């Protein structure tokens, strides 16, 4: 089992700022998180969470 501590959303945002040209999947792999976690760290910072309401479609 992986015992690494996941970075906080603030740490993730700082890593993105420090590596502006790095691909999202590469940055996520470097941080030991999923791409979804990388995007979720930016909610309210230029990213809007979409509610899953398929029945509304």
Which residues constitute the domain of residue 41?
1-47
pTM reported for the whole predicted model? 0.76
Whether 55 is covered by a domain: the verdict is no
pLDDT digits (tens, 9 = 90+) for 7-43: 999 999 999 999 999 999 999 999 999 999 999 999 9
Whether 2 is covered by a domain: the verdict is yes
Report how many domains make up the chain: 1
Cα separation values, 24 from 3, 7, 56, 57, Å = 23, 15, 30, 29
| Confidence at 2, pLDDT banded by 50, 70, 90 | low
């Amino acid at each position: 089992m992986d015992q690494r501590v996941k970075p906080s959303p603030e740490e993730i945002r700082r890593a993105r700022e420090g590596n502006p040209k790095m691909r999202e999947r590469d940055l996520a792999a470097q941080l030991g998180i999923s791409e979804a976690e990388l995007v979720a760290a930016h909610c309210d910072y230029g990213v809007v969470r979409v509610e899953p309401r398929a029945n509304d479609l």
